[in-house]
Amino acid sequence: MIRAAVTGASGRMGKLIISNIVASDGIELSAAFDLVNIDKDAGEIAQVGNLGVSVSDIKDMERVLKESSTNVLIDFTIANATVVNAPVAASAGVDLVIGTTGFSKEQKQIIEAAVSKHGVAGIISPNFSVGVNVFFKILSEASKYLGDFDIEVIEAHHNKKKDAPSGTAMKAADVISAVLGGKDYVYGRQGLAPRNKEIGIHAVRGGDIVGDHTVLFAGDGERIEIKHQAHSRQAFASGAVKAAAWICNAGPGMYTMEDILGL
């Protein structure tokens, strides 16, 4: 039985991940962490009934992870928290599934260095849905033929999202840029803003939009739009739990959703 802990257990994603762990075979909740709801039962917070696992203070992470024999930590919090907490978990020999977005390059490197130093397995993915990872694959293929077109990435999310543009939009741009040998990015446009050969990246925020990503390839007299829309957070939560189960048998190193989905 895989023992999985969840950081951000009181958050939108954390609660859904706990309910997905409860509904999955072969994996169980070992511990939960957050800044709020300390000492309350994580199952009660996730509305799946009492699980006998209380939310621990993040300051006790190392001790709690060891005492609970946790194999893997699933983290959906904020970048400044993950960059501190993930190395603590890695040093306790715990594998990492990180869904938090908004990392700087340096923050990502700190987490990857901790994974390498402590010989654990890790995945950092801005989007755990199957559909989005196929979307990345399609973008990479389309970019081979549409490099001369103007390329824009447009994303839309709910009004509570803290970071912009989304990690998924950035990954989409990075996938395209890698195929095209490196592109500059322009974030939104205002005033005099002539178009060059950059990738434009645009963030829309409103209501309860779960997550839309469109990549527009616009040429002379025609355009292609490739679009992914998440209908609920369930797609992310089930992917993260699937990744947690997979990574526990993967051996040390950093992995991607492409590895897990066989793409």
Ligand X SMILES: NC(=O)c1ccc[n+]([C@@H]2O[C@H](COP(=O)([O-])OP(=O)(O)OC[C@H]3O[C@@H](n4cnc5c(N)ncnc54)[C@H](O)[C@@H]3O)[C@@H](O)[C@H]2O)c1
The H or E element spanning position 194 is: none
| 161 belongs to the catalytic site | yes
Indicate which residue of 157, 183, 228, 242 is catalytic. 157
Q: Does 99 bind ligand X (CB under 6 A)?
A: yes
Phi and psi at residue 259, in whole multiples of 5°? -60, -50
Q: Is 77 in the site for ligand X (CB under 6 A)?
A: yes
CB 201 within 8 A of CB 153: yes
Residue 70 or 183 with smaller CB distance to ligand X: 70
- 73 forms bridges with which residues in the sheet? 5, 96
- Which range touches ligand X (CB under 6 A), out of 76-84, 142-150, 194-202, 249-257? 76-84
Judge whether 118 counts as a catalytic residue.
no
Task: Decide: is 122 part of the binding site for ligand X (CB under 6 A).
Answer: no
Whose CA is closest to 110, among 90, 127, 126, 128? 90
Among 8, 122, 165, 200, binds ligand X (CB under 6 A): 8
Q: Which segment (23-31, 33-41, 42-50, 87-95) binds ligand X by CB under 6 A?
A: 33-41
Of 38, 78, 88, 110, the one binding ligand X by CB under 6 A: 78
User: Are 7 and 30 contacting, i.e. CB atoms less than 8 angstroms apart?
Assistant: no
Sheet-wide strand order for 199-205? 185-187, 199-205, 150-157, 211-219, 222-230
Give per-residue burial for 189-218: e unless 16+ CB within 10 Å, then b: eeeeeeeeebbbbbbeeeeebbbbbbbbbe
What Rg, from alpha-carbon coordinates, does the chain have? 19
Please identify, among the stretches 11-19, 147-155, 199-207, 216-224, the one whose residues bind ligand X according to the rule CB under 6 A.
Answer: 11-19
Reading the block at residue 129, the tokens are 């849905």
Question: In this complex, which beta carbon is closest to ligand X, that of residue 133 or of residue 183?
Answer: 133
Q: At its nearest, how many Å lie between ligand X and the CB of residue 222? A: 32
Q: Is 13 in the site for ligand X (CB under 6 A)?
A: yes
Show which residues are catalytic.
157, 161
- Summarize as ranges the residues that interact with ligand X (CB under 6 A): 7-8, 10-14, 33-36, 58, 76-78, 81, 99-102, 125-128, 233, 236
